[in-house]
């Protein structure tokens, strides 16, 4: 820096400029003041325990580091650690939050997120919400629920399909049976040892077969040959072939175990990610990608609860989300409002059990309410008339006779369907419209309880209150994802593993609620 005549070489005139306090340089309406207002009412010391090290350099103030991280997520939605380090060196607001502390490196931020926030971030999120919800008088009785799929931080073409593993494992079973027949016929028949075949082969049993074959033929693996110019013995060929089948069974078993009962696929580079159809553009064109299903419950434009599941269907995510809501706030929302992706028999019964009103659409809600022709179709099972005895009557005046009850596949609440069959469809003039594909008499499936639930849902959603709730859901729940994905450019995860993904999304939710709270304060002040 060039010196002028008024300096003595020890300082410059720039070092004497006022004000000396950083706070004086920050605009009074800056979000950093709103952020400090919220964080000053939270006891952060209980999340950081002093370790009492007596050697080495003193560590950074962890509370200040946390404030810097949360403020970065408040401003940017998602922020890389290197970007946070850069902001601490160049942005005066981050210097204000550091309060005289030297700007930490990106590794320091990574350590505190990884080692300190993984287990405590959800409690910090709850503390932030407690203060904001109390100050803004947030209504927790109305919860607007929605989900979106976010691409995982995983390689795109590393999928493993459970059905393929199961199918290929069955083929290996057949090959093992053929190999056992060849072993017994060609080699073991002369030694008096016989291997037993089975329909399915466990890994332990195949290992036993290898040992029996090895003992029965007196094989020594040290004498095995390989490469050009060497001819393998029939014993070596059969032994190594069975070894190969054993390794394939171990691989398939590992794949099926990772998938679990409720998933059909996973990614090799992120075992918790499931392959889902993601919309890649505004035309709705999709692509099969590893992703997570992000679920949120929004109350008065704030994210009240955030959850992440590796399931493609929203129906399976409703119960865990509501359970987390109850665990966080001590009660269930009275009016959970959701789209047709959540309207299932299980979820409706769950609402009944926990005192929640049914404001979730079902799959055919739009047709039931807007398509008059569909609603008044005389051939639909729910529109069939009944006689004095309560028997269903077809348009031709013939009775439907009850046959049996059939349990619905994979229904956790034991839902059953009643199967009815028409007494005779022979010579019926309505057959071409009533049951054109039926070779015999028409059969229908009915569930009176589910039908009555659907009528209750229609009544709730078609009311004035229901119409307002549906409108608010599209604004608040879907608007939240719009802000995150388009305003904050958050379209792909940065971390791997379900636990780390929850950490990342909870940090983003903390920043989102702080951002909303600041904007609401500014609107109130400008209106006053």
What does each of the 528 residues of the chain score in pLDDT, given as a tens digit? 444 555 555 665 555 555 556 777 888 889 999 999 999 999 888 887 666 555 666 678 889 999 999 999 999 888 889 999 999 999 899 999 998 888 999 999 999 999 889 889 999 999 999 999 999 999 999 999 999 999 999 988 888 999 999 999 999 999 999 999 999 888 887 777 888 999 999 999 999 999 998 888 888 888 888 888 888 888 899 999 999 999 999 999 999 999 988 899 999 999 999 999 988 777 767 889 999 999 999 999 999 999 999 988 899 999 999 999 999 999 999 999 999 999 988 899 999 999 999 999 998 898 888 888 888 888 888 888 888 887 888 888 888 888 888 887 766 666 788 888 888 888 888 888 888 887 888 888 888 888 889 999 999 999 999 999 999 999 999 999 999 988 888 989 999 999 999 999 999 999 999 999 999 999 988 886
Q: Which of 104, 147, 200 is nearest to 341 (CA)?
A: 147
- In a domain, residue 154? The reply is no
Residue with tokens 């070489």: 9
489 and 502 share a domain? no
CA distance 271 to 273: 6
Looking at residue 119, what is its pLDDT? 87
Give the count of domains, the chain.
Answer: 3
- In this structure, is residue 150 part of a structural domain? no
CB atoms within 10 A of CB 31: 19
> Is 145 a member of any domain?
no
Rounded to whole angstroms, the Cα distance separating 518 from 420 reads: 60
Residue 424 domain-assigned? yes
Q: Are 464 and 328 in the same domain?
A: yes
pLDDT, position 244: 94
Are residues 525 and 391 both part of a single domain? Answer: no
Same domain, 391 and 489: yes
What confidence score (pLDDT) does residue 426 get? 84
361 & 475 share domain: yes
Q: Tokens 């380090």: give the residue.
A: 85
482 and 516 fall within a common domain: no
Whether residues 487 and 509 share a domain: the answer is no
Same structural domain for residues 263 and 174?
Answer: yes
Evaluated on CA atoms 123, 125, 131, 133, the torsion sign reads negative
Buried b (16+ CB within 10 A) or exposed e, 334-370: ebbbbbebbbbbbbbbbbeeeebbbbbbbeebeebee
Say whether both 336 and 431 belong to one domain. yes
pLDDT of residue 307: 95
Do 422 and 513 have their domain in common?
A: no
Q: Which of 204, 237, 267 is at the close of a domain?
A: 267
Q: pLDDT at position 1, please?
A: 44
The secondary structure of residue 159, as a DSSP letter, is: E
Contact 246, 207 (CB under 8 A): yes
CA gap 299, 334 in Å, rounded: 12
Token pair of 518 as six digits: 């600041």
Q: What pLDDT, on a 0 to 100 scale, did the predictor assign at position 505?
A: 95
User: In angstroms, how far apart are the furthest CA atoms of the chain?
Assistant: 114
Task: Give residue 14's pLDDT.
Answer: 54
Q: Is the same domain home to 326 and 429? A: yes
Residues 409 and 450 in one domain: yes
Residue 494 is predicted with a pLDDT of: 92
Q: Are strands 142-151 and 335-338 parallel, antiparallel or unpaired?
A: parallel
* Residue-number span of the structural domain to which 226 is assigned: 160-267
Cβ partners under 8 Å of residue 244, min gap 6: none
CA distances from 344 to 155, 362, 377, 456, 471 (A): 33, 7, 23, 13, 21
Residue 86 lies in a domain: yes
The per-residue pLDDT for 408 is 77
Instruction: Tell me if 217 is assigned to some domain.
Output: yes
Q: Is residue 1 part of a domain?
A: no
- Given 241, 267, 293, the domain boundary residue is 267
Query: Is 309 a domain residue?
Result: no
Six token digits for residue 342:
């959540």
């Amino acid at each position: 820096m060039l010196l002028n005549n008024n300096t003595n070489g020890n300082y410059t005139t720039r070092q004497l400029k006022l004000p000396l306090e950083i706070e004086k340089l920050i605009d009074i309406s800056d979000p950093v003041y709103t952020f400090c207002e919220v964080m000053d009412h939270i006891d952060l010391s209980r999340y950081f325990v002093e370790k009492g090290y007596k050697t080495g350099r003193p560590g950074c103030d962890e509370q200040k580091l946390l404030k810097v991280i949360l403020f970065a997520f408040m401003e940017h939605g998602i922020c890389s650690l290197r970007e946070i380090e850069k902001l601490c060196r160049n942005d005066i607001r981050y210097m204000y939050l550091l309060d005289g502390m030297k700007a930490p490196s990106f590794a320091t931020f990574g350590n505190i997120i990884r080692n300190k926030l993984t287990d405590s971030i959800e409690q910090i999120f709850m503390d932030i919400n407690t203060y904001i919800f109390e100050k803004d008088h947030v209504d927790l009785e109305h919860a607007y629920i929605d989900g979106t799929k976010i691409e995982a931080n995983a390689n795109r073409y590393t999928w493993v399909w459970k059905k393929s593993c199961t199918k290929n494992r069955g083929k290996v079973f057949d090959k093992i049976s053929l190999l056992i027949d060849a072993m017994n016929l060609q080699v073991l028949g002369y030694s008096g040892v016989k291997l037993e075949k089975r329909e399915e082969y466990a890994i332990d049993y195949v290992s036993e077969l290898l040992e029996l074959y090895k003992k029965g033929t007196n094989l020594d693996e040290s004498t095995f040959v390989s490469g050009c110019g060497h001819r393998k013995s029939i014993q070596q060929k059969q032994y190594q072939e069975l070894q190969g089948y054993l390794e394939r069974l171990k691989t398939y078993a590992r794949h099926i175990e990772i998938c679990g009962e409720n998933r059909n696929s996973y990614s090799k580079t992120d075992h918790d990610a499931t392959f889902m159809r993601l919309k890649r553009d505004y035309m709705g064109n999709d692509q099969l990608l590893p992703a997570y299903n992000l679920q949120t419950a929004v109350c008065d434009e704030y994210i009240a609860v955030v959850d992440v599941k590796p399931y493609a269907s929203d129906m399976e995510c409703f119960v865990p989300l509501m359970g987390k809501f109850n665990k966080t706030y001590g009660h269930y929302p009275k009016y959970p409002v959701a789209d047709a992706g959540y309207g299932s028999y299980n979820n409706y019964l769950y609402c009944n059990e926990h005192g929640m009103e049914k404001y979730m659409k079902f799959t055919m809600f739009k047709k039931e309410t807007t398509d008059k022709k569909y609603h008044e179709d005389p051939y639909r099972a729910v529109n069939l008339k009944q006689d004095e005895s309560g028997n269903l009557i077809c348009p031709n005046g013939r009775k439907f006779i009850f046959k049996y009850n059939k349990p619905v596949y994979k229904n956790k609440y034991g839902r059953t369907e009643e199967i009815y069959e028409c007494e005779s469809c022979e010579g019926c003039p309505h057959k071409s419209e009533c049951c054109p594909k039926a070779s015999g008499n028409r059969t229908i499936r009915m569930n009176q309880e589910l039908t009555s639930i659907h009528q209750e849902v229609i009544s709730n959603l078609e009311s004035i209150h229901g119409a307002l709730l549906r409108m608010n859901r599209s604004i608040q729940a879907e608007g939240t994802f719009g802000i995150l994905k388009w305003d904050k450019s958050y379209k792909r995860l940065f971390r791997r593993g379900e636990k780390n993904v929850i950490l990342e999304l909870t940090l983003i939710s903390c920043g989102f609620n702080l951002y909303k709270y600041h904007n609401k304060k500014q609107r109130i002040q400008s209106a006053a």
